[in-house]
Amino acid sequence: MKLKRILALLLAMTMIIGSLAACTSSQQPAEEPAEEPETVEEEEDEENYETGDASLDDPLNQDGIGINELLVVSFGTSFNDSRRLTIGAIEKDLAAAFPEFDVRRAFTAQIVIDHVQKRDGEVIDNLEQALDRAVANGVRNIIIQPTHLMEGFEYNDIMDTVDKYADAFNMIGVSRALLSTFEDMDEVAKIVHEETVQYDDGETAIVFMGHGTEAASNRVYADMQDTFNKLNYKNYFMGTVEAEPSLEDVVKAAKDGGYKRVVLEPLMIVCGDHANNDMAGDEEDSWKSTFEAEGFEVICNMKGLGELQGIRDLIVKHCQNTIDFMDEDFGTGDASKDDPLNQDGIGEKELLVVSFGTSFNDSRVATIGSIEKALAAAFPEWSTRRGFTAQIIIDHVQRRDGEVIDNFEQAMDRAVANGVKDIVIQPTHLMAGYEYDDIVASAANYADAFDSITIGKNLLSSDEDFTTVAQIVHDSTAQYDDGETAIIFMGHGTEHESNAVYPKMQETFKALGYDNYFMGTVEAEPSLEDVLAAAKEGGYKKVVLEALMIVCGDHANNDMAGDEEDSWKSTFEAEGFEVECIMKGLGEFEGIQQLIVKHCQETMAEAGF
């Protein structure tokens, strides 16, 4: 299925695998090739261990390339052999998959770059140098493909840096990290399981070592443990060097399970310092030594995830999704019918309507546009304006249709320039999740720029909201309520705690007696598998699919109603259901529009307007 969403919600995780070699250790650490480093300490000048021949590696910083570049961004490692076998192998597979792009390299760890140059004379670009090189080479279209496991601190730094180059290229897109969805986790877990299945003898615990981070993305390690458990890999355990689950946690799990042997593997793209020292070192506090001290026989697998073909294929898949999105030119309606609401010369009161956005022109007009019009009609004394939070949507619409839509910061800067004194920000977001949190955080930067800043509630903010929305969607689908039809709504899903809105909506359906109404999500829980099981258990013959999203965009058109074999439509058809898709966003319903107006009225009243 095409996941054309590029800038996605945080969700990640880590993992590694490979054939197991005898446990070896290196003598001196080179660097900290972590996915989520807190700090990278200065390494010692002298090294005497062998890390391989640097001349076998290609730093991919050549000039004189074409207009299309695929920049592969990695944390990096100074272990030459591992760099070539992991990062280098990923780069080669991407080059083979996308011959129309010139593949280039960038590392984000400056200490690794400096160390390799000092020791081996090999020059590797950092991200800024690689992007400057692309500009100098006349590149017009650039895809950034991170090799990072999760969308944490390092990934966010990439996004911040790339944002500074937004005007330097005609087209710029950033792919997702390796573990960005539950589907990714399932796939990685299966890959590493297949690589280690020979150790699944009932007496061996297979333990993966991740880095660990202070970022919220550390939750991916617990999610990976949940994935192992869900797939019935009961002897597979996830730990981290610097966070939770800890070494103590996995030692306890192995002891509680009565295992006699432990296989240790790093859950990292490369096999660098953490694998060679923290995991497999001979120091008494290494993972190897700790398990041996507890009486376990220990085998260490010295292989980075990047060496595994399945992992590289998954990264290629993520890159393909990004390119599919960037190359998209499907018919989405006439953009000229849309009003981007970014005019200047307004009064002192502004109502800024903030949406994620969609590049589907017809849906944008019918949903976001309709909400904006309803708000403008309800508050004529306020000048209604628009802001989108998805920069990739903004860029795509501008490139394809020539329509300019402000992002949130641009809209706020425009308001300042227009002399606005009081600004009310009304999000159209379904939930108070990551996107909503970002709006609140960004708005705080403008606290001194206005006399007042007020932020409205998201759509589903109270029990009353859930009931109202459930009744609206029920009324719009009542004609299908024939006893043989399951009406299923598809939400996005998120790693944020706000994902609780989806099971709550299911509870609301049940409380209202809508027993044939079901709630699922693309990227979280309840899942497609959950709603499929519910439809089968209910004995329904027909399924009606509709998106529980403000717009009818990529998710609705592809994940839900697409012809790919893993779309919701195809999945239900394969199970023998007759399927009908309703291609309508929530924003098209007058009841939804008026609920948002109501939220805005309540917000203004609380603010004294």
Tens of pLDDT, residues 237-289: 999 999 999 999 999 999 999 999 999 999 999 999 999 999 999 999 999 99
Distances (CA, A) of 277 to 63, 221, 263, 285, 485: 37, 21, 16, 10, 58
Examine the pLDDT at 519 and tell me if it is beyond 50.
yes
Half-sphere exposure of 115 (CA within 13 A, CB side): 24
CA distance 572 to 543: 8
| Band of residue 328 on the pLDDT scale cut at 50, 70, 90 | low
What percentage of the chain exceeds 90 in pLDDT?
78
Question: What DSSP designation does 44 have?
Answer: P
What value does the mean pLDDT take over residues 41-45? Answer: 39
| Band of residue 38 on the pLDDT scale cut at 50, 70, 90 | very low
What percentage of the chain exceeds 70 in pLDDT?
91
Question: What DSSP designation does 419 have?
Answer: T
Examine the pLDDT at 45 and tell me if it is beyond 80.
no
- Single pTM value for the model: 0.56
| Band of residue 47 on the pLDDT scale cut at 50, 70, 90 | very low
What value does the mean pLDDT take over residues 360-367? Answer: 94
Examine the pLDDT at 306 and tell me if it is beyond 90.
yes
Tell me, what's the pLDDT at 481?
Answer: 85
212 Rama sector, left if φ>0, alpha if ψ -120 to 50, beta otherwise: left
- Per the prediction, the chain carries an average pLDDT of 89
Examine the pLDDT at 10 and tell me if it is beyond 90.
no
- Residues that are catalytic: 492
Examine the pLDDT at 491 and tell me if it is beyond 90.
yes
CA dihedral 195, 198, 202, 204 (to 10 degrees): -70
Tell me the pairing of strands 171-174 and 102-107. unpaired
> Which of 132, 67, 77, 80 minimizes the C-alpha distance to 108?
77
Q: What structural domains and CATH numbers belong to the chain?
A: 54-177+309-326 (3.40.50.1400), 182-304 (3.40.50.1400), 328-609 (3.40.50.1400)
Is residue 21 within 8 A of residue 301, CB to CB? The reply is yes
Examine the pLDDT at 17 and tell me if it is beyond 50.
no
* Residue type (1 letter), 403: E
| Band of residue 495 on the pLDDT scale cut at 50, 70, 90 | confident
227 Rama sector, left if φ>0, alpha if ψ -120 to 50, beta otherwise: alpha
Is residue 108 within 8 A of residue 158, CB to CB? The reply is yes
What value does the mean pLDDT take over residues 104-130? Answer: 96
What value does the mean pLDDT take over residues 588-600? Answer: 97
Tell me, what's the pLDDT at 20?
Answer: 26
